[in-house]
């Protein structure tokens, strides 16, 4: 399995000029609504020590707009090269 690190480490709200605080991230199959559970793909969180943990969707963002797992920031890792995202 080749993992692609998700390109977002900070989720901004471009209309408000600030981060998406306490937001929800959904990741799913390409060109399908990722908010629908049947369309969601497996997402892992890479923790600071490099370990991967499977994440449950929706993935929450911190007050600073960063994806989190148990309150700690994580990098999002997926095995797909094409996907849909909804924030």
pLDDT of residue 12: 81
pLDDT confidence of residue 32:
97
So what's the pLDDT on residue 1? 45
**Distance (Å, rounded) from C-alpha 36 to C-alpha 9?**
23
Residue segments in the chain with a per-residue pLDDT below the cut of 70: 1-8
Block residue for tokens 């923790």 = 47
The reported pLDDT for the residue numbered 4 is: 60
């Amino acid at each position: 399995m080749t993992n692609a690190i998700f390109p977002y480490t900070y989720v901004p709200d471009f209309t408000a000029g600030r981060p998406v605080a306490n937001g929800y991230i959904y990741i799913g199959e390409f060109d399908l609504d990722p908010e629908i559970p049947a369309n969601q793909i497996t997402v892992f969180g890479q923790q600071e020590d490099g370990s991967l943990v499977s994440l449950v969707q929706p993935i929450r963002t911190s007050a600073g707009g960063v994806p989190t797992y148990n309150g700690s920031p994580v990098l999002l890792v997926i095995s797909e090269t094409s996907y849909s995202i909804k924030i």
